[in-house]
């Protein structure tokens, strides 16, 4: 597979010459080239940007310079990717899709970005590596190139090297252990020492599912077990005074009834607008429980993280149930645990 990276800073891609990706290029399993956009500037000072029409802060990379750099590659069939915070967020499914391309041209923006006209002309697909902004597209391009290159035939020892990794099969990867067998009084799980391949595979599958439940419940929304949805909804319960309360109802209850420290008041005050936007039983009854869409559960649990920290300080734990329907019987239930421990 061939990569051509259009950039103002080719030296930032030095890490790709190291380790697995570097060895793969030495073996000619992949071909990575860097085109310095500044080389195509017609300005005697090698200027590649100008002020934006309509005003605004920063500078915009000029269409003609970027286009000339692209034309130097001379392959109109290559797929063009523009690294942009406005693009769809990169995931493993997209990486696998792009890994089947023969030739990728990756454009790295800088300053305030690239003139929209050249992006339209190149029919560039915009890809983001997250909902945040960097100074340029070079670091995202590094991530994209590494992720795609490692999936090419021969780059990794065998397909198992990545087929059991996080996100490849829709779950996070199971925990990994190596020597010594006991470290700081922590032992390697006994099943991994048995040599029983079926038992080990079963443990890996079960723990991968449990890790995903704890860390990324949103991924379970699309997960299938024997072709059926596994867990499209979750419920969070908090035990309190010999009862269980829905998490949202409990948060509202302690906000209104408990004497809080200044820190706790600040945390809850910041979160309350979000809590108020969620449905909650008026009397906080035990049987009035709220299902949360698992696709949003990761965001919701992240949002509650400061509150969970506060609950742990007071010795309060919580548990999560999973179901494939919002009114159905839970298909899986874990014991009490703390997600953010």
What pLDDT sits at residue 336?
32
Residues paired with residue 80 on neighbouring β-strands, in sequence order:
105
CATH topology of domain 2-149: Alpha/beta knot (3.40.1280)
The tokens for 137 are 């597209």
pLDDT tens for 59-98 read 999 999 999 999 999 999 999 999 999 999 999 999 999 9
- Of the two residues 315 and 102, the one the predictor is more confident about is 102
Report d(CA 303, CA 340) in Å as an integer. 12
Report d(CA 212, CA 223) in Å as an integer. 10
Is 219 in contact with 170 (CB distance < 8 Å)?
Answer: yes
Report d(CA 16, CA 25) in Å as an integer. 9
Query: For residue 166, which of 212, 129, 135, 130 has the smallest C-alpha distance?
Result: 212
Has residue 337 got a pLDDT over 70?
no
Task: Name the segment(s) of the chain with CATH classification 1.10.1270.20.
Answer: 170-215
pLDDT tens for 183-218 read 999 999 999 999 999 999 999 988 988 888 777 777
pLDDT tens for 133-156 read 999 999 999 999 999 999 999 999
pLDDT tens for 224-271 read 777 666 666 666 676 666 666 666 666 666 656 555 667 666 666 666
Task: Name the segment(s) of the chain with CATH classification 3.40.1280.10.
Answer: 2-149
Q: Does domain 170-215 have CATH number 1.10.1270.20?
A: yes
pLDDT class for 157, splitting at 50, 70, 90?
confident
pLDDT tens for 14-32 read 999 999 999 999 999 999 9
Report d(CA 33, CA 68) in Å as an integer. 16
């Amino acid at each position: 597979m061939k990569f051509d990276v259009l950039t103002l800073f080719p030296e930032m891609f030095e890490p790709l010459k190291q380790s697995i990706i570097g060895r793969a290029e030495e073996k000619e399993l992949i071909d990575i080239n860097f085109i310095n956009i500044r080389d195509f500037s017609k300005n005697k000072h090698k200027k590649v940007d100008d002020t934006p029409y309509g005003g605004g802060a920063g500078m915009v990379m000029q269409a003609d310079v970027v286009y000339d750099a692209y034309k130097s590659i001379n392959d109109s069939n290559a797929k063009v990717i523009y690294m942009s915070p406005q693009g769809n967020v990169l995931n493993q499914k997209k990486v696998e899709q792009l890994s089947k391309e023969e030739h990728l041209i990756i454009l790295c923006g800088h300053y305030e970005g690239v003139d929209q006209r050249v992006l339209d002309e190149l029919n560039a697909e915009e890809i983001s590596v997250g909902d945040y902004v960097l100074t340029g597209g070079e670091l995202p391009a590094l991530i994209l190139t590494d992720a795609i290159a490692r999936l090419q035939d021969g780059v990794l020892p065998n397909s198992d090297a990545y087929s059991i990794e996080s996100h490849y099969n829709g779950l996070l990867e199971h925990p990994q252990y190596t020597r010594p067998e006991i470290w700081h009084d922590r032992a390697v799980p006994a099943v991994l020492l048995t040599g029983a391949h079926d038992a080990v595979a079963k443990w890996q599958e079960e723990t991968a599912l449990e890790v995903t439940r704890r860390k990324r419940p949103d991924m379970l929304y699309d997960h299938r077990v024997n072709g059926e949805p596994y867990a499209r909804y979750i419920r969070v319960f908090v035990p309190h005074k010999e009862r269980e309360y829905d998490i949202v109802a409990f948060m509202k209850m302690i906000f209104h009834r408990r004497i809080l420290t200044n820190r706790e008041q600040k945390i809850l005050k910041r979160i309350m607008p979000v809590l108020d936007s969620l449905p909650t039983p008026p009397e906080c009854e035990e049987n009035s429980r709220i299902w949360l869409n698992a696709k949003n559960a990761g965001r919701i649990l992240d949002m509650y993280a400061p509150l969970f920290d506060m609950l742990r300080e007071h010795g309060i734990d919580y548990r999560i149930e999973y179901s494939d329907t919002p009114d159905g019987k839970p298909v899986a239930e874990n014991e009490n645990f703390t997600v953010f421990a």
